[in-house]
Structure 1
Amino acid sequence: MNPAKNPRRSFHLSLFQGILPLNVKQIPLEIVAGITFAAFAIPEVMGYTRIAGMPLVTGVYTILLPMLVFAIFGSSRHLVVGADSATAAIIASGLGTMALPESPQYIAYASMIALLAAILLLLAGILQLGFLADFLSHTVLIGFLTGVGIRISISQLSGIFGIPQGAYGTPMQTASFFPDLALINLPTFLVSLSVIGIIVLSGRIGNKFPSALLAIFGAIAASWVLDLSSYGVTILGTFPGGLPHLSFPQVPLSDVPKILDLSVACFIVILAQSAATSRAYAMKFSDTFNENVDLIGLSLANAVAGISGTFVVNGSPTKTEMVKSAGGRTQLTQLTTVLTVLMVLLFFTRPFAYLPRAVLSSMVFLIGLRLIDIEGMTALHKQRPVEFAVALITAMTVVVIGVEQGIVIAVVLSIIAHLRHSYRPLNLLLVPKGGGTMRTIPLEKGQQAVEGLLIYRFGSNLYFANENRFTEEIIELAKKNISLKWFCISATNIGDIDFTAVEALKKVYTQLQKLGITLVLSEVVPPVMNELDRDGITGMIGKDHIFESVQDVIEAYKNSIDSSR
């Protein structure tokens, strides 16, 4: 199937789109991939849970009901839903000053954020707003995730060294870290180094090796045998198992506005990151998906996260790549993972009580480092200095001010970048190439297509922000070409035109008329033609001066010259 043929913008909800049709021969591979993915996912979500400030078991809950619900209601065969570093960091940045991490009040706030995000996602899906993901540019996502990675990594340094963490916020944590190094707990630091070493070295062996799981089990065994807690190494203690309790989070109605901005920030990240991940893997495997159906699936996944006592879930590129590496090709892999996690929660949670907290700090530290996109930032610096500056501003906002503010900056800068491209489109002149074809040349050359005819191609939709540039360029070209008789606007790139742009066209027509120049149009698309008819432009210019192609314009111009002689 070709993803280009899929009506991704339409809305049609049916169950198990991410599984059906199912290749029977693939089922054993999907089951093995699901069990393998569970081995990766459990320690990973523990790291994300630590970032979010939630009890560890709630992180495991994110790969239970939310993953199950998306596998049923989502459309993507590949997108994996669960806890994610970016949304976890947003939650922690906002709730850290409102409640004590891991406290019942904190959990209630985090669950309510998931419910509010679910409502926003549901509305976006029903209103078919999946296209909004296109407005968060890849450039600002690089900067945003890089900033999140730096912030996360710095926040875990105290846990790695066994230093009490007193300061809040990245600048304060950085400032207080070095003076507190004298308080380092050496056994804790050795545990951290061991974990980092195992994960880094095994990562070089291959991505299919569950290094994080090996590090966790090794640390649990060492903690139990050597009684590491007696050396000042902090361990988790009781790790509750069993299934989540379903209930509505008890948050006072007056507190809901305080967390609404966090929900909006999570919604934006979910929208952009999930759509980008689904799109990338659909193209990779020539599958189809529907962004708006996925929004419904993500909404329901966050709704069950909210009522099961956990936090926001997102379409995770990291987990999606894990499943792909393990051999999973449909949501059947995720259903197998859900069953595996269920068995762990019911029968295998007791050993986690011996897990040193430094292990999780080390894992989160490495997660943060992986988010720092040095390659992407370097490429931007070399190829697009302006976009590098945008990414850098976004990253520094996240690091210095906060994740919540960083996503706002990311959205604003994305919109500015979009407007910048459409405000200053690439406008060109067209001249005959030979054989009936045309070639483009820069405006500066001012070359006419034939003597007395100039063809100007505008490179974007025409609207209020760029109509002034449109008008100025046309009048300037007309005044420079003294011998000009016809001025043709090639409208092949103009897919929309607003009221201000219509008025600009009238102004251009009047100015050219004063200069004794006839305005003609070519390649006008039907929606724009309807607007021109409605606003009287067609009658003003004359239907005989609107052509299907620039070749028709050239021929009509030559005929008019011949007939006037």
Structure 2
Amino acid sequence: MFLSRWLPGLANLLRYRAEWFRPDLQAGLSVAAIQIPIAIAYAQIVGLPPQVGLYACILPMMVYALVGSSRQLMVGPDAATCAMVAGAVAPLAMGDPARVAQLSVIVTVLVGLMLIAAGLARAGFIASFFSRPILIGYLNGIGLSLLAGQLGKVLGFKIEGNGFVLSLINLLERLNEIHWLTLFIGLAGLALLIWLPRRYPKLPAALVTVAIATLVAGLFGLDRFGVAVLGHVPSGMPTLAWPQTNLEEMKSLLRDALGIATVSFCSAMLTARSFAARHGYAINANHEFLALGVSNLAAGASQGFAISGADSRTAVNDMVGGKSQLVGIIAALVIALCLLLFTVPMAWIPQAALGAVLLMAGWGLIDVKSLSKIYTLSRFEFWLCILTTVGVLGVGVLPGIIIAVTLAILRLLYTIYQPTDAVLGWAPGIEGQVDIRRHKDARTVPGLVVYRFDDAILFFNADYFKMRLLDAVQKEVEARAVLFDAEAVSSIDVSGIAALREVRETLMAQGIVMGIARARGSFLRMLVRSGLAREMGSELLYGSVRAGIRAYRLWRNKVRREAAVAQ
């Protein structure tokens, strides 16, 4: 029980199945082959030496494999968080590389502590706002971003624009700069990545492709012909040390760390939930806060920088067929081994081959089939999905997601503001009550309006509820009683109670009696607390619509008898 709650990765590894090892080994090697050059490149964004990017991979990947709940998610350097770390430490470091390294460690530790605090505070509910259309739109956006970002490596030049649109424009403007030998290597890599899984599905296509390209580049010295290769990587492991700082620096870093923690969690959680949905299991958002926080502490302890969910490496893991968290441990061990022993051959990895692998990973993230299904089911959610993709491409991951989530919440509020309602009746051949507007042959009880409101009655829709109920009564010329079916009213606030009391008083002034059926939960408790239940009396509160109709008929017959006697 303890392991399942706090160390789900370890608990899963203790139940490890032998048949998982081969695909996990292949996935681990493939992830390592991609993680190494990406980590080196992202270290340069922060302004750190290439080996620091590898430091940010090894211990965090092993820690997440034990603590994390996602079987697919790979953690590591992320472009968005690296850019934010650079923005946080560069003004304070003032060009001093050693100070950049020290401040990066401090901000990484702060990010880890904030994520852990959020997990303990059970702030994982934030992830509940990421609906499936938003998840699909996010992955589509990441996939397209990967495609645009890696095309330059395959074509043989560095794309200089920031963002999807500017990168694409820069790419189109520089098509005359294509390096044809680099393009040939990239296309050959793509061909291998497509052909190998079909012909030899058990082979790790990504690893084989990179290995072949590296061997060819080394044997023929392709760098002499203008083919970009990874270049020299210093060997060795980090020396653990705690950097010094002061109060002013901490104030600045705390503010930046909060933003980095937010981006880190959103990116990791979206990726983890997306791949978990693909494989049919759930992610505990509160625990993911803790797992990502501990992983960032591990990155800081190993002299690395802030990490997040690595979408491209997660996509490679999924593409190769990784089954468990062992993939992360294998990838971390391979990276450590390469850092110690194999930095010389790593220098010959062609950038075009890595670009080809990432192009395939990006293509695998794009889900057109689900877009078609969403379009059929809900046009609003389809456009929400498209907007998320456009937002991720246009303004960045976090702003794009925030825009989509805000629109989804506004749509929800609009739905609650004007929820569906119905005047109920009975149609031949249909069991239970029906909406008389949809069933023209439905019959009603003469003199009785049975009204249903299909959502909570709160401050922003209380007047709408009042208007709709009174309109329904006015349409029944001979109305003598109203039975409010409150089964769908999950809750009611002070404004809702006031509106309900006003409706009852308005009806009483017209000589119309009002009863309530199927009141329950917080709605019933508010009726009691407000005194409205006492004012109405138990004879006007019914456990079912049928009981309310029966009571109305008895009351109507009694009134008729009294009227007959009076005559």
TM-score by length of 2: 0.82
Would the aligned equivalents of 2:26 and 2:320 in 1 still touch at CA under 8 Å? Answer: no
- Residue 216 of structure 1 and its aligned partner are, at CA, apart by 0.9
Q: Which moved more, 1:57-66 or 1:363-372?
A: 57-66
- Selected match of 1:264 from 244, 262, 265: 262
Query: 3-state SS of the aligned residue for 1:143?
Result: helix
Alignment of 1:311-330 (within 5 A): 311-314=306-309, 319=314, 322=317, 326=321, 328=323
- Residue 228 of structure 1 and its aligned partner are, at CA, apart by 0.5
Aligned counterparts of 2:224 and 2:159: Cα–Cα separation in 1? 20
Specify the structure having the higher radius of gyration (Cα): 2
Would the aligned equivalents of 2:425 and 2:434 in 1 still touch at CA under 8 Å? Answer: yes
Would the aligned equivalents of 1:509 and 1:541 in 2 still touch at CA under 8 Å? Answer: no
- Selected match of 2:163 from 153, 156, 169: 169
Paired position in structure 2 for 1:554:
549
> Which residue identity is paired with 1:184?
I
Aligned counterparts of 2:224 and 2:413: Cα–Cα separation in 1? 60
> Which residue identity is paired with 2:502?
K
Query: 3-state SS of the aligned residue for 2:433?
Result: strand
Q: Are residue 131 (structure 1) and residue 125 (structure 2) matched?
A: yes
Query: CA-atom RMSD, angstroms?
Result: 3.8
Q: Are residue 158 (structure 1) and residue 183 (structure 2) matched?
A: no
Aligned counterparts of 1:422 and 1:249: Cα–Cα separation in 2? 52
> Which residue identity is paired with 2:505?
T
Residues 363/230 of structure 1: CA separation in 2 closer, same or farther (3 Å cut):
same
Residues 184/351 of structure 1: CA separation in 2 closer, same or farther (3 Å cut):
same
Would the aligned equivalents of 1:126 and 1:292 in 2 still touch at CA under 8 Å? Answer: yes
Residues 320/483 of structure 1: CA separation in 2 closer, same or farther (3 Å cut):
farther
Q: Are residue 78 (structure 1) and residue 68 (structure 2) matched?
A: no
Q: Are residue 16 (structure 1) and residue 16 (structure 2) matched?
A: no
Paired position in structure 1 for 2:563:
none
Paired position in structure 2 for 1:217:
211
Aligned counterparts of 1:209 and 1:492: Cα–Cα separation in 2? 58
Would the aligned equivalents of 2:423 and 2:472 in 1 still touch at CA under 8 Å? Answer: no
- Residue 232 of structure 1 and its aligned partner are, at CA, apart by 0.8
- Residue 97 of structure 1 and its aligned partner are, at CA, apart by 7.2
Would the aligned equivalents of 2:31 and 2:316 in 1 still touch at CA under 8 Å? Answer: no
Q: Are residue 406 (structure 1) and residue 400 (structure 2) matched?
A: yes
- Selected match of 1:475 from 470, 473, 497: 470
Deviation digits for residues 453-505 of structure 1 (CA, Å, limit 9, x no counterpart): 33333222332333333222212111111222232222222222222222222
- Residue 218 of structure 1 and its aligned partner are, at CA, apart by 0.9
Deviation digits for residues 504-532 of structure 1 (CA, Å, limit 9, x no counterpart): 22222223323332222222223222222
Q: Are residue 365 (structure 1) and residue 359 (structure 2) matched?
A: yes
Q: Are residue 195 (structure 1) and residue 195 (structure 2) matched?
A: no
- Selected match of 1:293 from 281, 284, 287: 287
Deviation digits for residues 76-127 of structure 1 (CA, Å, limit 9, x no counterpart): 373534248xxx3433665687869xx8787778766654553443233222
Paired position in structure 2 for 1:91:
81
Residues 272/179 of structure 1: CA separation in 2 closer, same or farther (3 Å cut):
closer
Alignment of 1:347-358 (within 5 A): 347-358=341-352
Deviation digits for residues 178-221 of structure 1 (CA, Å, limit 9, x no counterpart): 33222222211111111122112224447653111111111110
Query: 3-state SS of the aligned residue for 1:209?
Result: coil
Would the aligned equivalents of 1:167 and 1:176 in 2 still touch at CA under 8 Å? Answer: yes
Would the aligned equivalents of 2:34 and 2:313 in 1 still touch at CA under 8 Å? Answer: no
Alignment of 1:134-533 (within 5 A): 134-205=128-199, 208-246=202-240, 252-253=249-250, 254=252, 256-258=254-256, 260-275=258-273, 277-278=275-276, 281=279, 283=280, 290-308=284-302, 309-314=304-309, 319=314, 322=317, 326=321, 328=323, 331=325, 334-335=328-329, 338-432=332-426, 437-441=431-435, 443=437, 449-533=444-528
Paired position in structure 2 for 1:121:
115
Query: 3-state SS of the aligned residue for 1:438?
Result: coil
Aligned counterparts of 1:318 and 1:311: Cα–Cα separation in 2? 16
Residues 225/316 of structure 1: CA separation in 2 closer, same or farther (3 Å cut):
closer
Count of equivalent residues: 545
Aligned counterparts of 2:111 and 2:276: Cα–Cα separation in 1? 19
Would the aligned equivalents of 1:48 and 1:364 in 2 still touch at CA under 8 Å? Answer: no
- Residue 38 of structure 1 and its aligned partner are, at CA, apart by 0.8
- Residue 61 of structure 1 and its aligned partner are, at CA, apart by 5.0
> Which residue identity is paired with 1:483?
E
Aligned counterparts of 1:323 and 1:150: Cα–Cα separation in 2? 17
Would the aligned equivalents of 1:29 and 1:328 in 2 still touch at CA under 8 Å? Answer: no
Deviation digits for residues 397-431 of structure 1 (CA, Å, limit 9, x no counterpart): 33233334213213312322332443343333443
Paired position in structure 2 for 1:3:
none
Aligned counterparts of 2:254 and 2:480: Cα–Cα separation in 1? 65
- Residue 353 of structure 1 and its aligned partner are, at CA, apart by 0.8
> Which residue identity is paired with 1:182?
N
Would the aligned equivalents of 2:419 and 2:453 in 1 still touch at CA under 8 Å? Answer: yes
Would the aligned equivalents of 1:458 and 1:490 in 2 still touch at CA under 8 Å? Answer: yes
> Which residue identity is paired with 2:419?
P
Aligned counterparts of 2:357 and 2:50: Cα–Cα separation in 1? 13
Would the aligned equivalents of 1:265 and 1:408 in 2 still touch at CA under 8 Å? Answer: no
Paired position in structure 1 for 2:564:
none
Q: Which moved more, 1:318-327 or 1:42-51?
A: 318-327
> Runs of 5+ in structure 1 lacking a partner?
1-5
Would the aligned equivalents of 1:114 and 1:263 in 2 still touch at CA under 8 Å? Answer: no
> Which residue identity is paired with 2:7?
F
- Selected match of 2:35 from 22, 28, 45: 45
Aligned counterparts of 1:248 and 1:474: Cα–Cα separation in 2? 67
TM-score by length of 1: 0.82
Paired position in structure 1 for 2:565:
none
Query: 3-state SS of the aligned residue for 1:487?
Result: strand
> Which residue identity is paired with 2:62?
L
Aligned counterparts of 1:171 and 1:250: Cα–Cα separation in 2? 41
Residues 69/373 of structure 1: CA separation in 2 closer, same or farther (3 Å cut):
same
Identity %, equivalent residues: 24
Q: Which moved more, 1:531-540 or 1:203-212?
A: 203-212
Deviation digits for residues 123-180 of structure 1 (CA, Å, limit 9, x no counterpart): 3322223333221222223223323332332233322211243333333332232332
Paired position in structure 1 for 2:24:
34
- Residue 327 of structure 1 and its aligned partner are, at CA, apart by 6.9
Would the aligned equivalents of 2:507 and 2:513 in 1 still touch at CA under 8 Å? Answer: yes
> Which residue identity is paired with 1:480?
K
- Residue 533 of structure 1 and its aligned partner are, at CA, apart by 1.5
Query: 3-state SS of the aligned residue for 2:386?
Result: helix
Would the aligned equivalents of 1:89 and 1:148 in 2 still touch at CA under 8 Å? Answer: no
Residues 127/515 of structure 1: CA separation in 2 closer, same or farther (3 Å cut):
farther
Residues 23/367 of structure 1: CA separation in 2 closer, same or farther (3 Å cut):
closer
Would the aligned equivalents of 1:491 and 1:523 in 2 still touch at CA under 8 Å? Answer: yes
